[in-house]
């Protein structure tokens, strides 16, 4: 099937919600994707920070095949081992008490919203300007951008937005009815907005003092992306609730809300598919591989190199932490399309080109990217 035919099928049969890039992917291997004509692309956004181990990592493929041949689904009426093994692993590495598994990131945020309400009995949640937490009605209520929210109002009431990276404004927005504060350690969808060093720590100290729960949405920053296993480790803080998703299954859908000092009561929450054995077995392999292969450290090291070369070598306006990076350009969309011409895949938010490669990239892949973007006038 050629590209035009694929494009036509999509236009005819598929929901019109996605603004696609002009690439139809056939298969992937490692850090590369191959289109339907066999052209190879360097994948520098990894399915939006998802494919931390690249495409079709042999360990992940093996686990999928093995578990698929054993047990895929049972519902949560029954116990399954992969679910509990992953629960044990994730609570250990996050130092949280318990986990509720979900199918994706937005559901992890939904679980967090319900948990803060049932735990505190309060209705008010403070979120950040420019935040992105998902598209279902609860998490959408915490998402800042009007273009996502406006057509669907009224949303969940009791949400206040305050300026990101400003502890004073956050503190003065807290009232006796505030249940929780939710934020991303680095705002991803907004275009890689990095707060000042110390911000997260101050937010943690202040929310603790005020008796307000702190929910960290690490759906995008988690699992080594920023150069630590979790972004909160940069400031040595511990959230009350931690939302994970994206990289957790390396592309196999799974998310999680981890928490301490509280719990759901029986039947307060649930889901037919959540914590299914296939997703959990895959996720366990992914998390173990990320840790065993030292990918957070590699992300930190290559991230520093890439950022330095982008800024000092190419004179670009770039910012980032680990392998989560944004480059300011004149025209974001055009730069992404120009990079596609040069066989490199990135995404953009307005005029920020976002760089989120698999964490398994090596220096030669970073150099290839630098050479390709260096050949453009951005």
Ligand X SMILES: *Cc1c(COP(=O)(O)O)cnc(C)c1O
CB closer to ligand X, 50 vs 366: 50
Q: Residue 105, interface with ligand X (CB under 6 A)?
A: yes
Q: Residue 106, interface with ligand X (CB under 6 A)?
A: yes
**CA of 232: how far to CAs of 72, 142, 177, in Å?**
33, 20, 26
Q: Which is the catalytic residue, given 217, 240, 338, 369?
A: 217
Specify whether 152 is catalytic.
no
Nearest to 325 by CA among 129, 109, 46: 46
Residue 277: phi and psi, rounded to 5, are -60, -35
Specify whether 196 is catalytic.
no
**Can you say whether the dihedral through the CA atoms of 324, 104, 348, 187 is positive or negative?**
negative
DSSP assignment of 195-246: PPTTHHHHHHHHHHHHT-EEEEE-TTTTTTTTSSSSGGGGTT---SEEEE-G
Q: Residue 217, interface with ligand X (CB under 6 A)?
A: yes
Residue 136: phi and psi, rounded to 5, are -80, 160
Q: Residue 138, interface with ligand X (CB under 6 A)?
A: no
Q: Residue 252, interface with ligand X (CB under 6 A)?
A: no
CB closer to ligand X, 140 vs 167: 140
Q: What is the DSSP letter of 311?
A: I
Q: Which is the catalytic residue, given 101, 132, 252, 369?
A: 132
CA distance 99 to 140: 22
Residue of minimal Cβ distance to ligand X: 105
Q: Residue 227, interface with ligand X (CB under 6 A)?
A: no
Site for ligand X in 148-207 (CB under 6 A): 184, 188-189
Q: Residue 134, interface with ligand X (CB under 6 A)?
A: yes
Q: How far is the CB of 45 from ligand X (least distance, A)?
A: 12
Q: How far is the CB of 36 from ligand X (least distance, A)?
A: 25
CB closer to ligand X, 148 vs 305: 148
Specify whether 150 is catalytic.
no
Q: Which residues are catalytic?
A: 132, 217, 246
Residues forming the site for ligand X (CB under 6 A): 104-106, 109, 132-134, 184, 188-189, 217, 219-220, 245-246
């Amino acid at each position: 099937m050629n590209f035009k035919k694929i494009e036509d099928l999509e236009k005819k049969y598929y929901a019109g919600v996605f603004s696609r890039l002009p690439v139809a992917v056939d298969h992937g291997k490692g850090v590369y994707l191959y289109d339907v004509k066999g052209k190879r692309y360097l994948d520098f956004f990894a399915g939006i920070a998802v494919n931390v181990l690249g495409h079709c990592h042999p360990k992940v493929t093996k686990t999928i095949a093995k578990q698929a041949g054993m047990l895929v689904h049972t519902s949560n009426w029954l116990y399954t081992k992969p679910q509990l093994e992953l629960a044990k692993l994730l609570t250990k590495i996050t130092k949280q008490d318990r986990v509720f598994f979900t199918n994706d990131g937005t559901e992890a945020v939904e679980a967090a919203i319900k948990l803060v309400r049932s735990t505190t009995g309060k209705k008010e949640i403070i979120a950040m300007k420019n935040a992105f937490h998902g598209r279902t009605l609860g998490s959408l209520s915490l998402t800042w951008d009007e273009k996502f929210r406006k057509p669907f109002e009224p949303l969940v009431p009791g949400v206040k937005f305050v300026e990101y990276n400003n502890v004073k404004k956050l503190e003065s927005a807290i009232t006796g009815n505030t249940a929780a504060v939710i934020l991303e350690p680095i705002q991803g969808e907004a275009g890689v907005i990095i707060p000042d060093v110390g911000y997260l720590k101050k937010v943690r100290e202040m929310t603790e003092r005020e008796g307000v729960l702190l929910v960290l949405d690490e759906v995008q920053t988690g699992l080594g992306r920023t150069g630590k296993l979790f972004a909160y480790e940069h400031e040595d803080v511990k959230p009350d609730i931690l939302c994970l998703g994206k990289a957790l299954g390396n592309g196999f859908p799974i998310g999680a809300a981890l928490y301490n000092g509280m719990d759901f009561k029986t039947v307060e929450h649930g889901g037919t598919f959540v914590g299914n054995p296939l997703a959990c077995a895959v996720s366990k392999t992914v998390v173990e591989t990320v840790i065993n292969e030292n990918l957070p450290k590699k992300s930190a090291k290559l991230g520093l190199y890439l950022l330095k070369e982008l800024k000092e070598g190419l004179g670009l306006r770039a910012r980032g932490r680990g392998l989560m990076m944004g480059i300011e350009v004149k025209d974001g969309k055009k730069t992404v399309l120009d990079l596609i011409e040069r066989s490199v895949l990135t995404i953009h938010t307005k005029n920020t080109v976002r760089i989120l490669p698999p964490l398994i990239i090596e220096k030669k892949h970073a150099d290839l990217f630098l050479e390709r973007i260096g050949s453009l006038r951005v």
